[in-house]
Structure 1
Amino acid sequence: MADYLLALFSGRPRRIRVIEGTLQGKRTITNLFWAQNYGILPYLGADRHLSRQTYDQWLMVQAQAGNLILADQTAQLTEKGLAAQMTWQANHYQPRFGQWTWIANWQRLADRVLLAVQLVSEFAYHNRRYSPLSLPWHEKLAVRNWFLHHDGQIVSQVKTELAAVLTQLAKVDERLSNLFAYRLIGHESVGWSAMEASRQLGIQASDLFWMERDAWLFFAHSLAQSTGALTELVLPLLATTPLTSSAQQTLTAFLGGHSIEEISHARRLRVGTIREHLLQAVILLPGQLPLARLLPSQVEAKLQQQYQGPVAEWRFTPQSTDPGQEFFYFRLFQVKVMQDG
């Protein structure tokens, strides 16, 4: 996916560690805020196994090629880099379902579903002598327990559920449904290799990662909206909200009328932690929090006078004896200005 990294930069400086952390799925407030500012939240967790060494090496190669300018832990595209970015985007598949990246770790979900489909397929042919996909033991156990809780109807159920999702996916992009279907593993079928998928779909091999990611994110979203055997299989892997469970508890309490201090006391968490939870909610669930309760009008008016111009260029300057609360207001104001456009 290295060449796709150009899509995450622009002609203005961007923090290289934010882009790295976004790809790795790190949900710190700093990462989430700047990822939203850069418009790259849909890439959250896109490459959880990205190593810093690989990433930094790519940055150096791009800088040496004249595509990037590196300075003070930031990088920006040169005119040559912008041209390369536009050329790449015009000739390659562009991700379209990144808004569902929070629903599941798509690669783990894919592993579990692929093993389940393999098991059901071999069961349909009464075959017990086959080599199951090599996955961690806990994933194999989850699939085994799921299978044992179903009767002989499991074959038709899985077939019907897969067909329903693939039909809907084909309406979006038939290549995605074909890629999904022909990568499945079953009785006397090992699925397309990457080379074969590239040839059959008429795409470059470098596009496969993003197409598979989109197909599985679509699949995860579809299962989250339905009921059935496959939904039951992956339910423990599906999130119901973009927030962490702890942040969701804080949000629920806040929407229930409790103050930050009350929530902090009741949950035995630092006030700073509660503030971080609420900032996470403001960023990931825009419009669902009454900002007037979080950002008093008089505070907002003062911030409007103090901070002007592009949000990305603001620098926090504490002016009170409670810098923690002041930074909370500062970040809230930044997010509000960005979301208001």
Structure 2
Amino acid sequence: MLQHIVLFCIDRFRGERSLAAIDHLLNGKKTAQTLQDSKWYDVSRLFGMVPIDRSRLFDVARALEADGFISQVDEHIYCTTESGKEKLRRFILPPYIDGWKYMNESSLFWKRLSLLIQTIANIIHRTSFEPIHRDEHIQSFVKRWLFQHTHIKTLARSLYEEMYELLSYVEEKDANIFVWRLTSHERIGWTNEQIAYAINEEDVAVLLSFQNVLHFMLEMTEKETEKFPLLYSLRERKRSQLTSSAQKTWELLKEGYSLEQIAQLRGLRKGTIEDHIVEIATYIPTFVSTPFLEENKRKRIIQQARQLKTKKLRAIKELLPDVSYFEIRLALARWEREDA
């Protein structure tokens, strides 16, 4: 599975990004470049989905090259070969995985749900227990939530029915993996590694199966709130897709501050604020880029990107020496959003 994931990323990056970019994507590094790449190259579903060491990533790349699935075009930069593309034709990402959409929510939802199930099971069986999550915020949430639902056995039955229905929609193997992760009054939930060993499966495949179910639950509870009220109530209030720092810049932009004024007010480099503006252009439909990018320049940048069939900044810059890298990134961000 990991080989397929890395090969998929290399294919999408088309020789325009290095292995470091794949490392940042799979580990969910929230830099401006990684956030933009995830959208530009249509790999946002994998954002933060496969946390791996860089050494393991490089080992996988070497194995793919040795097997003839990729070829090196520059230092740590690869393209897929014909046999690599053929290998990818048989690969399908788990259908509900969406790392970018749920990056701020899935972990929190899982911690709340798993601690709640552990707590209910032990209350019903009158056994003492050690909470599986030490985070005081998670524990406080579960305590408050239970305080609002006094009939524990009725609650347990209703929660079971909601989960049973959702799990009945996914592959049996994925459902089993999700259940094995849960802790009850009798057993501690297994880790992904323990499950992988037990079913003779790759750890990354187990991780993605688990995340696939988790994201499916989030999707369905959002679509059918009234059908799954208990699970929906465990969700966090919807957050902005912007990083917290970019959100602060966006608030100041809406108040009429210029790029330079924001940099001075926040004590940040101009380049950092430019990163924020590109991020804002990517994710905020109402954002107007004309104060930072002339319409004539925007059209020329998009024209070159189309002709070159690339989003590689340097290649576009070489043909348009009068535009800045910031203007190129801003034009591409807006283009990506409008084409989405």
How high is the TM-score relative to the length of structure 1? 0.76
Q: 1:81 aligns with which of 69, 79, 84?
A: 84
Q: Shift of the alpha carbon at 1:244? A: 1.4
Query: Over residues 217-259 of structure 1, what are the superposed CA-to-partner deviations in whole Å (9 max), with x where a residue is unaligned?
Result: 3445567786977677664xx7602211121122233244443
CA distance in 2, matches of 1:305, 1:229: 50
Equivalent residue, structure 2, for 1:62: 64
1:263 is matched by which residue type in structure 2?
Answer: I
CA distance in 2, matches of 1:206, 1:305: 40
CA distance in 2, matches of 1:281, 1:207: 34
1:117 is matched by which residue type in structure 2?
Answer: I
The answer to whether structure 1 residue 27 and structure 2 residue 30 are counterparts is: yes
Equivalent residue, structure 2, for 1:250: 249
RMSD: 3.7
Q: Shift of the alpha carbon at 1:59? A: 0.9
Equivalent residue, structure 1, for 2:140: 145
Equivalent residue, structure 1, for 2:125: 125
Q: Show structure 1 runs of 5+ residues with no match.
A: none
Given the superposition, is the C-alpha separation of residues 267 and 160 from structure 1 closer, same or farther in structure 2, using an over 3 Å criterion?
A: farther
Equivalent residue, structure 1, for 2:115: 115
CA distance in 1, matches of 2:67, 2:197: 32
Question: Are the aligned partners of 1:176 and 1:212 in contact in 2 as well (CA < 8 Å)?
Answer: yes
Q: Shift of the alpha carbon at 1:104? A: 2.7
Given the superposition, is the C-alpha separation of residues 59 and 276 from structure 1 closer, same or farther in structure 2, using an over 3 Å criterion?
A: same
Q: 2:75 aligns with which of 72, 76, 79?
A: 72
1:273 is matched by which residue type in structure 2?
Answer: T
Q: Shift of the alpha carbon at 1:179? A: 4.6
Q: Shift of the alpha carbon at 1:169? A: 5.9
CA distance in 2, matches of 1:174, 1:166: 12
Equivalent residue, structure 2, for 1:43: 46
2:8 is matched by which residue type in structure 1?
Answer: A
CA distance in 2, matches of 1:255, 1:158: 47
How high is the TM-score relative to the length of structure 2? 0.76
Given the superposition, is the C-alpha separation of residues 99 and 47 from structure 1 closer, same or farther in structure 2, using an over 3 Å criterion?
A: closer
Equivalent residue, structure 2, for 1:298: 296
Given the superposition, is the C-alpha separation of residues 304 and 208 from structure 1 closer, same or farther in structure 2, using an over 3 Å criterion?
A: closer
Query: Over residues 4-41 of structure 1, what are the superposed CA-to-partner deviations in whole Å (9 max), with x where a residue is unaligned?
Result: 32222218314221111100111222222223222111
Q: Shift of the alpha carbon at 1:166? A: 5.3
Given the superposition, is the C-alpha separation of residues 147 and 40 from structure 1 closer, same or farther in structure 2, using an over 3 Å criterion?
A: closer
What SS does the corresponding residue of 2:113 show, helix, strand or coil?
helix
Given the superposition, is the C-alpha separation of residues 95 and 18 from structure 1 closer, same or farther in structure 2, using an over 3 Å criterion?
A: farther
What SS does the corresponding residue of 1:209 show, helix, strand or coil?
helix
Q: Give matches, 1:184-203, under 5 Å.
A: 184-189=182-187, 194=195
Deviates more, 1:3-12 or 1:157-166: 157-166
Query: Over residues 88-138 of structure 1, what are the superposed CA-to-partner deviations in whole Å (9 max), with x where a residue is unaligned?
Result: 33xxx624231654443645653453233112211111112x4553x5x4x
Of all paired residues, the percent bearing the same amino acid is: 20
Question: Are the aligned partners of 1:23 and 1:47 in contact in 2 as well (CA < 8 Å)?
Answer: yes
Given the superposition, is the C-alpha separation of residues 327 and 165 from structure 1 closer, same or farther in structure 2, using an over 3 Å criterion?
A: farther
Q: Shift of the alpha carbon at 1:148? A: 4.0
